[in-house]
Amino acid sequence: MKEWLEKQKQQMQNMLDALSIQAKQIADDLVPQVCLCALENEMAANFLIWVYFVFNDDKTAIWSEGAVDFPPEQSVSQMFDWTYRLEEG
């Protein structure tokens, strides 16, 4: 378990970079719909982003999904995945 946690620490910046790219992709897709939603909802709107992580012994995958309630619209980001190993020393 300690070894697995160490692998995750090594990949933290990769995860943050992937999440940043995915959030921008989803926002780019959904902001026009957010504006339409605001017109229908007293000039207020929001959208949700779900982030999915899949961890394996030597691989991590991350993808995101976003949605606006009304008028309904959904966006899914590209998936990022990478493999890694601990340096032996």
- Secondary structure (DSSP) of 9-74: HHTHHHHHHHHHHHHHHHHHHHHHHHHHHHHHTTT----EEEEEEEE-SSEEEEEEEEEETTTTEE
Amino acid at 87: E
Both tokens of 39, joined, read 């017109």
* 8 A C-beta contact, residue 64 and residue 23: yes
Average pLDDT, the chain: 88
Q: What is the pLDDT of residue 88?
A: 55
Q: What percent of the chain shows pLDDT beyond 70?
A: 93
DSSP 8-state class, residue 89: -
Return the pLDDT at 65: 97
What is the enclosing helix (H) or strand (E) of 85? none
Once rounded to an integer, what is the mean pLDDT over residues 15-39?
Answer: 94
pLDDT (tens digit, 9 = 90+) per residue, 38-57? 999 999 999 999 999 998 87
- pLDDT-based confidence at residue 87 (cuts at 50, 70, 90): low
